[in-house]
Amino acid sequence: MSEGNDNILTTESLPVLPLRDIVVFPHMIVPLFVGRDKSIRALEEAMAADKNILLVAQKDAQIDDPEPDEINAVGTHSTILQMLRLPDGTVKVLVEGQKRVRLAQYTIMDDYLSAAYEDIDSPIPLSAELEAMMRSIIDRLERYAKLNKKVPQEVLATVSTINEPGKFADTVAAHLIIKMEDKQDILETIEVAPRLETVLQILESEIEILQIERKIRSRVKRQMERTQKEYYLNEQMRAIQKELGEKDETKAELQELEETIKKVGMPEDVHEKAMKELRRLKMMAPMAAEATVVRNYIDWLISVPWDKYTEDKKDILEAEKILDEDHYGLQKVKERILEYLAVHQLVGQLKGPILCFVGPPGVGKTSLAKSIARSIGRNFVRLSLGGVRDEAEIRGHRRTYIGALPGRILQSMKRAESLNPVFLLDEVDKMSMDFRGDPSSALLEVLDPEQNGAFSDHYLEVDYDLSKVMFITTANSLDPIPAPLRDRMEIIRIAGYTEPDKLNIAKSFLVEKQMAVNGLTEGNVSFTDKGILEIIRGYTRESGVRSLERELASVCRKVAREVVKGKEKYKRITISPKVVGEFLGVPKFKHGIIEEKDRIGLTTGLAWTEVGGEILQTEVTILEGKGNLILTGKLGEVMQESARAALSYVRSRAEELGLPRDFYQKVDIHIHVPEGAIPKDGPSAGITLATSLASALTGRPVRHDIAMTGEITLRGRVLKIGGLKEKLLAANRGGVSHVIIPMENEMDIKEVPKEILKGLSIHPVENVDEVLAMALCEAREEQPIPALRPLETDSTGAVTTKVDPVQTH
Strands 52-57 and 14-19: parallel
SS3 content of the chain, % helix, strand, coil (to 5): 45, 20, 35
Map residue 436 onto helix, strand or coil. coil
441 is catalytic: no
Q: 171 with 159: CB under 8 angstroms?
A: yes
Of 697, 703, 690, nearest to 768 (Cα)? Answer: 690
Instruction: Exactly one of 167, 365, 725, 727 is catalytic; name it.
Output: 727
* Distance, CA of 592 to CA of 604 (rounded, Å): 10
How far apart CA 198 and CA 505 sit, in angstroms, is 79
Secondary structure (3-state) at 507: helix
Number of H helices, E strands in the chain: 26, 24
- Is the omega angle on the peptide bond into residue 656 within 30 degrees of 0, that is, cis? no
684 is catalytic: yes
Instruction: Report the alpha-carbon distance of residue 333 to residue 604 in Å, rounded.
Output: 34
Q: What type of residue sits at position 131? A: E
CB burial of residue 808 (10 Å; 0-12, 13-18, 19+): exposed
Strands (DSSP E) found in 532-653: 573-575, 602-609, 612-624, 629-632
Sign of CA dihedral 715, 717, 718, 721: negative
- 82, 93 Cβ separation under 8 angstroms: yes
CA 436-440-443 angle, to 5 degrees, is 110
**DSSP secondary structure letters along 356-382:** EEE--TTSSHHHHHHHHHHHHT--EEE
Q: Which amino acid is at 356?
A: C
**Catalytic entry in 39, 684, 692, 695:** 684
Question: Could you give the count of Cα atoms lying within 13 Å of 685 in the half-sphere of its Cβ?
Answer: 32
Q: Which residues pair with 107 in a beta bridge?
A: 114
Give, for 531, the enclosing helix (H) or strand (E).
Answer: helix 529-539
The widest CA-to-CA distance across the chain, in whole angstroms, is: 120
Closest among 338, 340, 342, 266 to 298, alpha carbons compared:
266
Contact of 140 with 200, CB cutoff 8 Å: yes
Q: Provide the annotated active-site residues.
A: 684, 727
